[in-house]
């Protein structure tokens, strides 16, 4: 469910993702940030890897929203929820990890891109929940 708009791509209330762009440009593993659309970025890492990243303010991002992202934009490698008031479900995190797609908040994405297999990154709370459910 979008936070600000009914229509895809569920843009930021302010109509931009400057905070995300600034954090990416400050990250030591990021070489370049290419904006393809208002909510789709190619994050080019210093090792040459490109992470096609969808960023949004979706109040409750779940598998249905992920499917819509893929229908609208094609393949993505990461989904970043850009608001402290918005989030994602454990189900979409697990679903996407199985497809080598990471789902994060900005802090989680910044940590994840330090890994070769960035989509496997879990916060401590996520690790605990995944272990409790037998998912890892």
* pLDDT tops 80 at residue 1: no
Is residue 105, in this structure, part of any structural domain at all?
yes
Give the model's pLDDT for residue 37: 87
Q: How confident is the model at residue 4 (pLDDT cuts 50, 70, 90)?
A: very low
Average pLDDT, rounded, for the chain: 88
Domain count, the chain: 1
Exposed, middle or buried, 111 (CB in 10 Å: 0-12/13-18/19+)?
middle
Report helix, strand or coil for 27.
coil
Is residue 6, in this structure, part of any structural domain at all?
no
Give the model's pLDDT for residue 11: 52
> How many other β-carbons are positioned within 10 Å of the β-carbon of residue 133?
10
With a threshold of 0.85, does the pTM exceed it?
Answer: yes
Is residue 13, in this structure, part of any structural domain at all?
no
| Cross-strand bridge partners of residue 37 | 40
Cα–Cα dist 26/129, whole Å: 31
Q: Which domain holds residue 119?
A: 18-132
119 within 8 A of 102, measured Cβ to Cβ: yes
Is residue 4, in this structure, part of any structural domain at all?
no
Helix 124-132 to helix 90-97 angle (10° resolution) is 90
List, as one string, the DSSP characters of 84-95. TT-EE-HHHHHH
Q: How confident is the model at residue 2 (pLDDT cuts 50, 70, 90)?
A: very low
Task: For residues 2-30, give the mean pLDDT.
Answer: 71
């Amino acid at each position: 469910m979008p936070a600000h708009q009914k229509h895809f791509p569920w843009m930021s209330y302010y109509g931009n993702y400057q905070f995300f762009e600034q954090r990416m440009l400050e990250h030591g593993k990021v070489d370049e940030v290419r904006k393809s659309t208002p909510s789709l970025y190619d994050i080019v890492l210093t090792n040459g890897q490109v992470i096609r990243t969808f960023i949004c303010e979706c109040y409750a991002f779940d598998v249905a929203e992920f499917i819509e992202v893929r229908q609208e934009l094609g393949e993505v490698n990461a989904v970043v929820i850009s608001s402290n008031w918005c989030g994602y479900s454990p189900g979409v995190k697990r679903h996407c990890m199985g497809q080598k797609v990471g789902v994060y908040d900005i802090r989680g994405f910044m940590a994840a891109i330090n890994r070769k297999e960035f989509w496997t990154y879990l916060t401590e709370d996520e690790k605990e929940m995944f272990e409790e459910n037998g998912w890892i």
